[in-house]
Homo-oligomer: A and B are copies of this chain.
Amino acid sequence: MNKVHNFSAGPAILPQSAIDASILALQNFSGTGLSLLEVSHRSKEYEAVVAEACQLVKDILKISNDYEVIFLQGGASLQFDMIPMNFLKPESSAAYVNTGVWAARAIKEAKMFGKVNVLASSEEKNYNFIPKDYTIPTDVNYYHCTSNNTIYGTEMFTFPNSPVPMICDMSSDIFSRPFDVTKFDMIYAGAQKNMGPAGATLVIIKKSFLEKANDNVPTMLNYKIHVENGSMYNTPSVFAIFVCMHTLRWIKSIGLEGMEVRNKAKADLLYAEIDRNPLFTGTVVKEDRSRMNVNFVLSDKALEAPFLKFCEERNLSGLKGHRSVGGLRASLYNALDIDSVQILVNTMQEFEKASTHAAVAN
């Protein structure tokens, strides 16, 4: 079978080394003679996996001992609930920026627990830009933002200097470039884009912020409990954390500076073609274009389905836009090779020639 070029928005492409290591571990995990699926999460061999995964996160992001690193379940969506349950009260407020469906879901959940101040929104422009003209108030418990908006293809390349604890959902661009962790009190990310398979959620939280968490939070939704138990309050998502560990090993081997070079080159290549090729139009304001999710449409909507078929025939997979926005989306996560992007660009050029030829023939 020919190689499939995987542009899926998530679950998404992973480094082959992580997949290969997973296959071996399903056969015999760490010399135990048992499959990774059958070992106790309390075994010393598996405890070493969780410890290494957390340490790799600290190493890659240069995180000091002021922060805790844990792996949870439930995806970023459960964090939308856990954050206000831990850090908001009916009489207190939090500030959110509405930059897409996931940000809007985070806002909706927070409103169940306290007052929510939506500082800015790009909803009326179908989320095609990142609002920047707002002031974070000083009387809120935290400020929440979403660094990359998977569905719309916008990305925050700079973060505000927040006067209150800054919490960021980095599900779809974490580990894609260097950034200053010390600006944040909490960072979270569902694993299934840049870090691993579905089923694990990374939470990085500053100890001084954690101390401010509410009392009487239900146990499984209580960050303090999970931190005190080193991600092992109950049985964790054993296999998913293992794959994360191997993906993180690969990320560390390249480094975040190297990852940024890699990701910028891929995004530049594709956006240049979108801007050059008259058949295609980018949907996002240029300065906010995501390097992770490249959204574009066919200038002639009638060509969308034929182009998608054209791509599928060339083993280019996952290019259909999210069902809520339509169009096309190419996700260029860390593990995607630039060769795959080049083949997509070649395909766009080939389609252009075929279309021009067809138009002339007509």
Chain A interface (Cβ < 8 Å from any Cβ of B): 1-4, 6, 8-14, 18-19, 22-23, 26-28, 32-35, 37-42, 73-78, 80-81, 85, 105, 108-109, 112, 190, 192, 196-199, 216, 218-221, 233-240, 243, 315, 317-318, 323
Contact = CB atoms under 8 A, between A and B. Distances in A.
A181 B104 CA distance: 39
Given A75-B73, A234-B77, A40 B318 contact: yes
A37 B197 contact: yes
B105 A219 contact: yes
5 tightest A-B contacts by CB? A199-B237, A4-B33, A77-B234, A73-B73, A81-B218
A169 to B, nearest CB: 13
B315 A33 contact: yes
Count of identical protomers in the assembly: 2
A235 B201 CA distance: 11
A112 B216 contact: yes
A40 B317 CA distance: 10
A81 B199 contact: no
Interface of A is mostly: loop
Contact of A238 (B27, B198, B233): B198
B26 A219 contact: no
Contact of A73 (B38, B108, B197, B237): B237
Given A26-B22, A26-B23, A235 B37 contact: no
A77 B13 contact: no
A105 B222 CA distance: 14
B11 A197 contact: no
Nearest to A247: B37
A12 B28 contact: no
A211 B37 CA distance: 36
Contacts of A42: 323
Given A2-B33, A11-B40, 16 more contacts: A1-B33, A8-B39, A11-B235, A14-B38, A19-B38, A73-B237, A74-B74, A77-B219, A77-B220, A80-B219, A85-B218, A112-B216, A192-B235, A198-B236, A198-B238, A198-B239
A71 to B, nearest CB: 11
A9 B4 CA distance: 40
A11 B39 CA distance: 6
Contacts of A81: 218-221
A235 B34 CA distance: 28
